[in-house]
Amino acid sequence: MNTRRLLLPAVLLWLAACTPAAPPTGMAHAPAAAPAAETVVEPPAERCSDRSGWNDPATPLRIHGNTWYVGTCGISALLVTSPGGHVVVDGATPKAGGLIVDSIRKLGFDPRDVKAIVLSHEHFDHAGGLAALQEATGAPVFALAPAIATLRRGASDRSDPQFLVLDPFAAVADVRRVPDDGVVRAGEVELHAIPTPGHTPGGTSWTWRSCEGQDCRQVVYADSLTAISDDDYRYGDDAAHPGYLAAFRDTLARIAALPCDILVTPHPSASGLWGRIGPDAHRPLVDAGACLAYAQTGAERLEKRLADEAARAAAPTP
């Protein structure tokens, strides 16, 4: 019997009970100043939904304070701003890179004031627009070590569970490793990298403090937690992928324990974003339990995937 499978839900619940109300030491910092409301023109919001396509244009929206949504209806990208420089989070699809740049301009910001670009994971639907963003902004892309080679060549390798079914994307010229302290800075913005391998080897989540006046919130951009692969890959085959399953489970526990007021995910539908921002919002934006719930859903899906793999392995050969 797999005792880790039985213990995981209990561990997640224990972590939730121990989650601090404020960011852990070293993560809190002076909030980056949001642009004055009168300097930013927010266009009337178009309607996006969970059924929207990956390349459907979205109206740029303020999420909270200095954090803005600049992605498409189906794939997230964020802009975190400060007077001294901005950071873009994720590049979306190859077709969406230009849309992200347009959204930055529509909000009244200059793309050349973007000083850093970061990403969630090294797949074409989130890294495909990075080269275009880099060309428009001149900013370097910061990534964790396992993602760097993939970004530079525009293609994954067998270390990625989905390797055989992934589309290539434009190679990114200037890719730099996330600094040793795990913080990417631009002006007054500080984004903290959280290594979250599982969906991909280089999966990265990001967290920062965003304020509207005295209302400061911890934003978490949590990477995808779905256990999806091509037909050859087995998450339970530790001999073929040493330590990968354990790292995935550590990721789930890490996300569950994060201080988390506002959750955003690379696919907005995964965190119900369009029910929390925009013209059809009907749920609170702030939910301190959102990261825990997101991690628990990921854990349940991983365990189901492992059970399915075991069942297929035990099935008699036709």
267 is catalytic: yes
Catalytic residue among 126, 221, 223, 241, which? 126
174 is catalytic: no
Catalytic residue among 86, 261, 267, 294, which? 267
86 is catalytic: no
233 is catalytic: yes
Catalytic residue among 160, 199, 244, 294, which? 199
Catalytic residue among 233, 235, 244, 294, which? 233
282 is catalytic: no
Catalytic residue among 64, 86, 121, 192, which? 121
Catalytic residue among 64, 123, 192, 241, which? 123
Please list the residues that pair with 118 across neighbouring strands.
89, 142
Catalytic residue among 125, 160, 223, 261, which? 125
Catalytic residues: 121, 123, 125-126, 199, 233, 267
